[in-house]
Structure 1
Amino acid sequence: MAVQEKVEIAEYDVVIVGGGPVGLLVAYQLKRFGVSVCVLEQHDKNTQDAYGRAIALFPRTTEQLDQLDLIEPMLQLGFACRSSVTYKNGERVIPGRVWTFMESIKDTTYDFTLVLRQMHTEAILREKIASVGASYHQSVECVDFQVDASAPLDAPGVTSTFTNRKTQRTFKLKSKYLIGADGGRSFVRRHAAIPFDGDTSEDRWIRIDGIVETDMPINRAYGAIESRTHGNVLWAPLDNGATRIGYAFSPEIAAKYPDGVTQEVALKEAIECMKPFKVEFKEVHWWTLYTIGQRIARSFSTEDRRIFLCGDAAHTHSSGAAQGLNTGIHDAVNLGWKLALQIRGIAKDEVLDTYSAERLTAVQQLINYDKDIAMLMSHKWPAWYTGDPSADPYLALGELFEKAAPFNTGLGITYPANLLNQTGSSTLAVAPGSRPPDVELTMPGINRPVRLQRVTVNFAKFFVVVFTGDINSTRSSIQELERYLSEKGKDLKKHSAIGWITISPVTGCSPFEALGTRPLGDTYYDPTSLAHEKFGIDTEKGNVVILRPDGLVGSGGAISGPWIREYFSQVLKL
């Protein structure tokens, strides 16, 4: 009788199904912060569509990539777009509509839209996960997974099965968590029996990328060409001198082509939709025809906290507002640090529950916008509209984009109150769960500027930021907080996931002289008091702000130890 060979099952903290930008970004964060992770992608990236797909990275997304040390190679390749243009009947519409929010982005270093095709974004992320040693495999498909309900969260309770699509070899992996970043047809979502609510419309759009020559006067700005036959036509300048043209492929246009849509048809209608401007394609890199729909998973995680969904696996929508990749990156950032701290035994298990709750709130807002945007861009009125049917839908589209600008840029996205976002006694001008202003501070001694977002975000720590005030008014408060930390809060002061920073409106030859006492952590100066003003902090009394690892405001209050301990006692395993 033959002896059966024992099959070893590899084990990781996290297994990620899907190696697109969202899955890669989660993997990069986890591995960077000490968590073992394996990414498995069902496609062969050498043969999958080289171009196309997502192109626009908006300011909040770019800030997050910067905070993760990912943005520089993207800035080298991408097109930084700060302007927009609207044309109607060959004439420029002033003021413009739809993309004009790109011209008034404020309070961020990244005051532009970075246009970079997804193939480049993915290539950069693959290099980054290789640099941190994350395991990555292509042409591998997830065919099954099972969860051991009796296993505690710190044990590998998920067993997943994969098939190598080239060799047909099947193998298993064990992990504590499984993340589905495997697109709109997500196997992980379906196998986890998570409902995907929403619908698909009859509207279809075409997108085509290439090297284009045109007589359109302004052609390296984000453009909206208002057409009655092809919807609100997208003109998007891309990286490497390329351009994307997007238009609605209406039933009337489709009727002209009973044999279906080919690249020749896509090009012909792209040229037609741009009239009276002339367009000639010198190269065609990619094109697609797709159906518009909006769907959202009922939850982005299972009740047992073992399975999580990110990106298109959790939500799909039109490309009308160019939010797809941005939303997926926000998912990845939100989940990454929470999983990392929980797996390392630092954060409480309940922190994981905030991922689905927070991201569902933001994505539902996007879905609501997107339904109207998609209809208006197709030159149709939404079902709720009861006004003049002969009115111009593009006027309403421009108004909607203007209203949605804080959401579209990502700078105005906020999360509701939860154990991470505690209002407490906070009187801050920035609500907990919101992005703080990215103000400039000054480094002591050399007086060189530093950005608040760069000194208070590393995705592995919360930061307690002590905004001091007048020396005579706040010296005693700082000293009292220091005594509290030395006597009752040693675990807070020395905690690996808590950083301390002092921001002083008073400058001096040294932080000690500026404060009249020893600072808590590193000190930065706020000589114009702009940071204090933006946060709504009295420069006489001072205040404390707790920032989450992703940089969002967690809570705020007086310069006092007990409430700080109360906050962290709900979040961390002290």
Structure 2
Amino acid sequence: MQGDVEHVDVLIVGAGPVGLITAFQLAKFGGVSVRIIEKHAKSEQDAYGRAITLFPRTAEMLDQLGLADELLQNCFACRDTVTYNAQGEEVGGRGWSFMKHMKDTTFDFALVLRQKFQEEIFRNALRQHNVHVSAPIELITASTNANIPTGEHKVTAVLSNHSSGAAEVVKCKYLIGCDGGRSSVRRIFNIAFEGSITEDKWVRIDGQVETDMPKPRSYCSIESPTHGNVLWAALDHGSTRIGYAFTEDRANGYEEFDEAAVVKEAIAAVKPFQLEFERVDWWTIYTVGQRIAESFFVEGCVFLAGDACHTHSSAAAQGMNTGIHDAVNLAWKLSLVLRGCAKPGLLETYHVERFQNILKLIEYDKDISQLMSNHLPEKWRDNPDADVNVILAKMLEEVGTFTSGLGISYEVGNDNPLNIEGSFRSTDPQVKPGIRGPDITLLRPGTFEPTRLIRELPNTSRFSVLIFTAENQPPIPKVVYDDITYSLTVERPILMSAYFNIRTNKKAGHLRFITIIPKPTPSPYEFLGCEPIGRVYFDGEDGAAYRRYGIELSQGVIVVLRPDGWIGTMIELGNRAAWELESYFDKILLYRST
């Protein structure tokens, strides 16, 4: 071994989008030392291909991290979808048509930007926090010391620097494997990777094309009788991706299935339309399968995220989306624990929440990938002559809100203190703990300028407490106001420091408070009869924000949003409100100063 032993809080293995975004959050939230390594030099990873699509909920989360604006500067915003049958006729309600129903979000489109460009944006953002990817450096082995308490430097990792040939030793408190489907972290810690690989193979090719297709700048599917449900995706920088099934006949028809063969079959796949490639940027053939790790969190200090703990087909374009959901779910929890702000048990919720959603994805991906290969699903027991394209359309529509991410939820249960049924029940059954908090339009005081809730709640690892005041007097009952401010300032001062310091931008606590008034008024103070708790915003005259959260204007309600934007609990603004708020946070947070 050469050199000194390096000590860091977190070692991240793998510098793809998942690793980069995880590192970025930990660095941005502060108070945590991070090192991120990648075994390939950047120049070896510059291929245009791989993942391309970010769906609305992913874009919302990146917006809260301050990353969306740069993505929007470079992306192709795809709002149009179309499906053509074998005769080239447009068919409604098939293929990717669910994308036309991605509403209730500002990001009501598919954000299409090839992984190469996304990674460049994420690396640049990470550098702004003085964290740089170490490459080409490979994880050789790692082990944990049972005699060292969790939360200390329990993990010892041995790295190989491929440039210098030297070995490095790093001791870390937590190790995160973001190193893909062939994860070294998963292999080293003997984490079972369960699932199967099918015989189906798909081809993907990106490039600059000319075509007579009527709507080429869209997300398109072509129901080919020979090449399966063909993907046509308009890409950034004027490029296009085409994907088709790689059948045995296709493989046997060529001595070598090289780029020329890929292009020839792509031309055949989009018939009856004409296609000509002006340039090929990237192409690949891959085997379709679904696998999931037995656990995403082992030994109290080792995590897996992204493809390291789940792989599936690209049928519903979920690969990068699910990985980013992993990264966002994990990073704020790990940051709070490492900074001594949250109880270590919070980390257990990462596996609990993400595992259940990946299981859902795996199950529907099995069926969708088979349908896209022109096969009926294995569990299909109805008409054996059913049209696979009709079944595929129905299935994609059924899982549309899950695919967009807007319908992804986390269960309310005794084993998860983050999602708790409170005393308030929304009039909208879709608004409840464990569900994404709807983005709503609010008005700023004085100017009445509109703003989005998500823009006002950047993800800084803090919980947000939204106080929807009642229309009737008093908007916040005095006993409730006194109880909340007393409890959180005297008994739990680190929580309420956010309230006292919000206007001075000094170091804040674990919570961020927003008071929402049901209609525009000249002065928040005059409406409330007291100082607002935290920043204040107005609903519009039509009460749309209250309605979206299922709150009557005559009611007062507290909505707790987790740092990642999901609803934690909903509480009536009554005599027990302060107690409920205390009870919720007492299960999660620690109250000593950082």
2:494, 2:510 within 8 Å by CA — same for their partners in 1?
A: no
Structure 1 residues 497 and 483, CA gap change in structure 2 (3 angstroms) = closer
1:494 and 2:497 matched:
yes
> What is the correspondence of 1:76-95 to structure 2 with a 5 Å cutoff?
76-95=73-92
Following the alignment from structure 1 to structure 2, what is the Cα–Cα distance between the partners of residues 316 and 488? 46
1:207, 1:287 within 8 Å by CA — same for their partners in 2?
A: yes
Following the alignment from structure 1 to structure 2, what is the Cα–Cα distance between the partners of residues 487 and 549? 24
TM-superposition CA deviations, 1:281-323 (whole Å, max 9, x none): 0000000000000000011010x22100010001000001000
Find the counterpart in structure 1 of residue 105 from structure 2.
108
The alpha carbon displacement at 1:459 in A equals 3.2
Aligned partner of 2:531: which letter?
Answer: R
Q: Please, which of 545, 555, 568 is the counterpart of residue 531 of structure 1?
A: 545
Find the counterpart in structure 1 of residue 506 from structure 2.
none
Find the counterpart in structure 1 of residue 342 from structure 2.
347
Q: Please, which of 512, 517, 538 is the counterpart of residue 530 of structure 2?
A: 517
Find the counterpart in structure 2 of residue 134 from structure 1.
131
Normalization by structure 1: what TM-score?
0.96
Following the alignment from structure 1 to structure 2, what is the Cα–Cα distance between the partners of residues 188 and 314? 10
Q: Please, which of 411, 417, 426 is the counterpart of residue 419 of structure 1?
A: 417
2:2, 2:168 within 8 Å by CA — same for their partners in 1?
A: no
> What is the correspondence of 1:161-560 to structure 2 with a 5 Å cutoff?
161-257=158-254, 259-302=255-298, 304-417=299-412, 418-428=416-426, 429=428, 430-477=431-478, 478-480=480-482, 481-486=484-489, 488-494=491-497, 496-527=509-540, 528-559=542-573, 560=577
Find the counterpart in structure 1 of residue 504 from structure 2.
none
Find the counterpart in structure 2 of residue 21 from structure 1.
17
Following the alignment from structure 2 to structure 1, what is the Cα–Cα distance between the partners of residues 492 and 165? 56
2:230, 2:242 within 8 Å by CA — same for their partners in 1?
A: yes
RMSD (Å) for aligned C-alpha atoms: 1.5
Following the alignment from structure 2 to structure 1, what is the Cα–Cα distance between the partners of residues 488 and 20? 39
Aligned partner of 2:565: which letter?
Answer: G
Aligned residue for 1:161, secondary structure, equals: strand
2:333, 2:347 within 8 Å by CA — same for their partners in 1?
A: yes
Aligned partner of 1:149: which letter?
Answer: A
The alpha carbon displacement at 1:482 in A equals 3.5
Aligned residue for 1:216, secondary structure, equals: coil
Aligned residue for 1:212, secondary structure, equals: strand
The alpha carbon displacement at 1:190 in A equals 1.0
Following the alignment from structure 2 to structure 1, what is the Cα–Cα distance between the partners of residues 511 and 168? 40
Following the alignment from structure 1 to structure 2, what is the Cα–Cα distance between the partners of residues 445 and 159? 56
The alpha carbon displacement at 1:491 in A equals 4.6
Normalization by structure 2: what TM-score?
0.93
Following the alignment from structure 1 to structure 2, what is the Cα–Cα distance between the partners of residues 192 and 251? 37
The alpha carbon displacement at 1:540 in A equals 1.1
The alpha carbon displacement at 1:91 in A equals 2.9
Following the alignment from structure 1 to structure 2, what is the Cα–Cα distance between the partners of residues 485 and 54? 45
Following the alignment from structure 1 to structure 2, what is the Cα–Cα distance between the partners of residues 486 and 336? 27
1:145, 1:161 within 8 Å by CA — same for their partners in 2?
A: yes
Find the counterpart in structure 2 of residue 31 from structure 1.
27
Following the alignment from structure 1 to structure 2, what is the Cα–Cα distance between the partners of residues 121 and 6? 35
For structure 2, the residue ranges without an aligned partner over 5 or more in a row are: 499-508
Structure 1 residues 140 and 7, CA gap change in structure 2 (3 angstroms) = closer
Please identify, of 332-341 and 427-436, the stretch whose mean Cα deviation from structure 2 is larger.
427-436
Following the alignment from structure 2 to structure 1, what is the Cα–Cα distance between the partners of residues 267 and 89? 19
Q: Please, which of 570, 579, 584 is the counterpart of residue 562 of structure 1?
A: 579
Following the alignment from structure 2 to structure 1, what is the Cα–Cα distance between the partners of residues 251 and 488? 70
Aligned partner of 1:299: which letter?
Answer: S
Aligned residue for 1:494, secondary structure, equals: helix
Identity of aligned residues (%): 46
Moved over 6 A (4+): none
Aligned partner of 1:232: which letter?
Answer: N
The alpha carbon displacement at 1:450 in A equals 1.2
Following the alignment from structure 2 to structure 1, what is the Cα–Cα distance between the partners of residues 485 and 587? 22
Structure 1 residues 482 and 49, CA gap change in structure 2 (3 angstroms) = closer
Following the alignment from structure 2 to structure 1, what is the Cα–Cα distance between the partners of residues 230 and 179? 29
Aligned partner of 2:471: which letter?
Answer: D
TM-superposition CA deviations, 1:199-223 (whole Å, max 9, x none): 0000000000000000111100100
Please identify, of 276-285 and 459-468, the stretch whose mean Cα deviation from structure 2 is larger.
459-468
1:210, 1:243 within 8 Å by CA — same for their partners in 2?
A: yes
Structure 1 residues 10 and 524, CA gap change in structure 2 (3 angstroms) = same
The alpha carbon displacement at 1:154 in A equals 2.7
Aligned residue for 1:168, secondary structure, equals: coil
Aligned partner of 1:568: which letter?
Answer: F
Following the alignment from structure 1 to structure 2, what is the Cα–Cα distance between the partners of residues 134 and 205? 37
2:136, 2:163 within 8 Å by CA — same for their partners in 1?
A: yes
Following the alignment from structure 1 to structure 2, what is the Cα–Cα distance between the partners of residues 159 and 502? 47
The alpha carbon displacement at 1:78 in A equals 0.7
Following the alignment from structure 2 to structure 1, what is the Cα–Cα distance between the partners of residues 476 and 134? 56
1:471, 1:514 within 8 Å by CA — same for their partners in 2?
A: no
The alpha carbon displacement at 1:473 in A equals 4.2
